[in-house]
Amino acid sequence: MPEPRTWQLTAGSAALGLVLAAVAATAAGPWDGGQRTAERARAAAPVAGGTRHAPPPAPAAPRRPAPAPSAPGALTALRAPGTTAPAAPAGRAADLAPVLVPLLADPGLGTLRTASVVDTATGRQLYGEGAATPMTPASTVKIAITAAALSALGPEHRIATTVTAAPDGGTVTLTGGGDPTLDPARLKALAADTARALTSRGHTSVRLAYDTSLYRGPALHPIGPNENLAPVVALMTREGRLDDSRSGPAPRTADPARDTATAFAALLAEAGIRITGDPAPGRTPRADPLAVTHSAPLGDLVERTLTNSDNDLAEALARQTALARRQPASFQGAEKAVRDELTRLGLPVAGARFADGSGLDRRDRVSAALLTGLLTRAADPARPALRPLLTGLPVGGFTGTLAGRFDTDPATAGAGLVRAKTGTLTGVNTLAGTVVTADGRLLAFAFLAGRTASAAEAQPALDRLSAALAGRK
C-alpha cells in the first residue's frame, strides 16, 4: 500500500504535465498568455489582495495549499474510481547517468558544473555530480530565501505599512514595514483612511514625517545603483519603478522613501488635510496607528518572487526573515537569519552564503543538494507552509522567466512538464526546479554552471538537461 504522500505528489505532478501538454496549442484561453488562471491572481498580479486596509481577520484554519497543479479533472483521469496511484519506483541512478553525463559535458555549460536530481516521493538522490559543492547560484538563491521566509513566518503573514499620529495630533508619521509591493491605489486608500481618522479627531492640518528605521545598514546593494534593484529601504511604492513595468529591469528612483512620502502628502491634501512643510524623516510615535494597509499574504509574495524573479521582493523577504528571528534587518542580519532557518529545517548549509536575497551578489554560495533538498521539502504534504515554493516556480514555455524557453527546440520538449527557477549572471547560469517524468514521478533537480561563455549557449544546455528528465521512466 503506497504512502499517502506518493499519490499526492506523483499524481498531482503528472496532472500538471498532462494538462499543460493538452492546452499548449490553445494557451491564449485559460492561460492568459502563459499564466495559469489559478495562479494568475496569486503570482502575476502586482499586489494580490492589496486593497485591504484593515488588519485581515484571523483565518478559521491554516490555509492548506493545493498541490502545484490545480487540475482535479486530470487527477480523476489518472486513476480509476476506488484505486490509488502506483507507488513511485525506488529510483535508478544508473538510468540517469547515461542520459545526463553527456548533456552535462556540453561546452555551453562552461568549466564549472554541478548537478543533483532527487525523487521527491522518497527523498533519494538519483543523480549527483558535485552536488554538495557550493556554487554561485545567481537567482536560484531565491528558492532558499523564500523557503526561509515561509518557514519563519508562515504563508499567511502580511507586511504592514502604517500611519501614526503624535500625541498632540500635529504630526503624522508614515512608517515603512518593508513592503515593496505598496502601490498608488493602496497608498491613496491609506491616505483616505488617515484623513478620516484625523478629521474625526478635529485635526485638519498636520506635518508629515516618514520612518524607514526598520531597516539597518546600507540601502544600496553592493552592485550599486542598478535597474535590477531599487535601494533596499523599508518604505517604497512599486519597488521604486519610474516606468509602468511590473517586473524585470526598470529605471529606479534614488530615494523611494521620500518619493512615497511626497506622494502620500499629496494624497492627504486631496482628502482635505493641509500639510505644513515638506515630508521629513522621523520616528514613529508610541501610539496605535491611525490607519494601516497590508501586503498580500506571504505565500502570494513568494510566488511572485519566484515567477518573476523579483529582486526587490526577495530582498524584502530576506529582511522579514531577519525580523522574525530577531536579527537586524540588514544584508548581514538577513544572511544569518536565512542560514539559521535553513539549518533548523535540517538542510545541508555547509559552505553556503546568503550575502543578499536577490542573487545579484556573486559572493552567494549554494549547493545543488541544498536546492533539491528545499524543493523536496516543499513537496512533502507534511510541510504545506512551503508549498508556494512549488506553485511559484515558472512553467517551462508558459510563465514568468521560462515563458520563452522550452518551446522551440525539439530536444528541450519540456514545456508544461518542467517548472524551474532560473539564474543568470555574466558567466553564471543555473536552473533548479521540478519535472514530471513519463511515469508520473515528481523529481527535483538543480543544475549550476559557472565560467559559462554566454547565456545563449548555457540556457539551452540547461533546458536540455531538465527536459531529458521528463522522458525518464
Decide if pLDDT at 230 tops 90.
yes
Least confident piece of the model among 138-142, 283-287, 435-439: 435-439
**Does the active-site annotation cover 473?**
no
Mean pLDDT of 403-412: 71
Interatomic CA distance for residues 315 and 451, integer angstroms = 26
- Residue 54: predicted pLDDT: 36
Catalytic site residue from 13, 116, 139, 295: 139
Find cell 502620500 and name the residue.
264
Contact 422, 431 (CB under 8 A): yes
Residue 409 has what pLDDT?
A: 59
Written as one string, the DSSP assignment of 354-404 is -S-SSS-STT-BB-HHHHHHHHHHHT-TT-GGGTHHHHTSPBTTTSGGGTT
The β-bridge partners of 161 are: 293
- Distance between CA atoms of residues 31 and 258, nearest Å: 39
**pLDDT single digits (tens) 44-95:** 333 333 323 333 334 344 333 333 333 222 222 222 333 333 333 334 455 8
Q: Taking a C-beta distance cutoff of 8 angstroms, is the pair 265, 279 a contact?
A: yes
Homologous superfamily of domain range 4-55+67-157+299-470: DD-peptidase/beta-lactamase superfamily (3.40.710.10)
Compute the distance between CA of residue 349 and CA of residue 335 in angstroms, rounded to an integer: 12
pLDDT of 212 over the 90 cut: yes
- 359 and 424 Cβ atoms separated by less than 8 Å: no
Per DSSP bridges, beta strands 124-129 and 160-165 are unpaired
Q: Pick the catalytic residue from 142, 358, 367, 466.
A: 142
The single residue of 151, 309, 358, 367 carrying the catalytic annotation is 309
Percentage of the residues of the chain whose pLDDT score is greater than 90? 75
The band of 411, judged by pLDDT with boundaries at 50, 70 and 90, is: low
Parts of the chain belonging to CATH 3.50.80.20: 160-294
- For residue 192, give the C-alpha cell: 483616505
8 Å CB contact between 288 and 144: no
Residue 139 is a catalytic residue? yes
- pLDDT > 70: percent of the chain: 78
Stretch(es) of the chain classified as CATH 3.40.710.10? 4-55+67-157+299-470
200 labelled catalytic: no
CB 137 within 8 A of CB 450: no
The length of the chain is 473
* Topology of the domain covering 160-294: D-tyrosyl-trna(Tyr) Deacylase; Chain: A; (3.50.80)
Grid coordinates of 24: 499548449
Confidence of residue 444 (pLDDT cuts 50, 70, 90): very high
Q: Provide mean pLDDT across the span 133-162.
A: 98
In the numeric block, which cell numbers belong to residue 369? 543538494
Measured CA to CA, the distance from residue 361 to residue 326 in angstroms comes to 24
Q: Is the pLDDT of residue 360 over 50?
A: yes
- Residue for cell digits 494601516? 292
